[in-house]
Structure 1
Amino acid sequence: MEVFWSLAGMFAAAFGAATILPFQSEVVFATLQARDAVSLPVLIAVASVGNILGSIVNYLLGAGIERFRDRRWFPATPRQMDRAQDWYLRYGSWTLLLSWAPFGDAVTVAAGVLRTPFPLFLALVAIAKTGRYLVLAGLVDRIV
């Protein structure tokens, strides 16, 4: 049962970290990896899926409610959105490979606003998010 709750917590933290919620999934990931609470491939998979699904929420928000971008609850500030859209228009969908970065939420919202084809969005975000946790696992492994 402890494994279930560990993975549920990892999923929630990773999902939240990819949305407007103020979560930091790296701490949860590193703690679970260091405690050897779950097998590493399962931990990476759960964290990646949670983070990808959170980005999909951002994409859907961008696709459906861009008109609300000035509202306080919107997942990115107007300045972040303008910057993300500028980047996105300049460099194209490849900017989704940076969706793991701190400004990545705005990029995933911009992808929805600009109607990036969903299969392309999903593929690039999956590469970025999974790559993030693979790199983090390597760093934790070296430290611990």
Structure 2
Amino acid sequence: MSETLSLLSLFSSSFLSATLLPGSSEAVLIALLLAGVGPTWLLILIATMGNSLGGLTNVILGRFFPLREQSRWHGKVTAWLVRFGPATLLLSWMPLVGDLLCLLAGVLRMRWGPVIFCLCLGKALRYIVVAAATIQGMEWWH
């Protein structure tokens, strides 16, 4: 039961971290890795799924509520998205900028297949790096 709640907390934190709401999915992932909750691959998968669904929520919001205000960040990010396409979403894990990338991908009506692939891959790579660094640190410490 407590493992299930831990995994649900990881999913929830990962989802919220990918939306405009604050979250700390990396901290939850690290805490669960240190506590030995579940296999590492499962923790990475759950964090990736939650974070990817949160990012896709931003893409959907962008499709329904296009951003009309032009800001310095809006112009730069839009130019990146137009130039590099969905591959830009490999950076969707970045704080603040990643949320804007996802929103603008929706505003620009990018195709779903490449958006989903690049967004999920970028978020998975981030969690793999966090987990690997945590495990490496645990091995070094012992």
Say yes or no: TM over 0.5. Answer: yes
* Alpha-carbon shift at residue 92 of structure 1 (Å): 2.0
TM-score (norm 2): 0.90
Name the counterpart of 1:26.
Answer: 26
8 Å contact from structure 1 (residues 96, 128) kept in 2: yes
1:3 aligns with 2:3: yes
Name the counterpart of 1:42.
Answer: 42
Structure 1: gaps (5+ residues): 71-76
1:121 aligns with 2:115: yes
* Alpha-carbon shift at residue 100 of structure 1 (Å): 1.2
* Alpha-carbon shift at residue 95 of structure 1 (Å): 0.6
Q: Which residue of 75, 80, 89 corresponds with 1:82?
A: 75
* Alpha-carbon shift at residue 93 of structure 1 (Å): 1.9
Name the counterpart of 2:66.
Answer: 66
* Alpha-carbon shift at residue 119 of structure 1 (Å): 1.1
* Alpha-carbon shift at residue 37 of structure 1 (Å): 1.2
Percent identity between the aligned chains?
A: 34
Structure 2: gaps (5+ residues): none
Name the counterpart of 2:134.
Answer: 140
Name the counterpart of 2:93.
Answer: 100
Cα 1:82/1:24, change in 2 over 3 Å:
farther
User: What is the alpha-carbon root mean square deviation over aligned residues?
Assistant: 1.5
TM-score (norm 1): 0.89
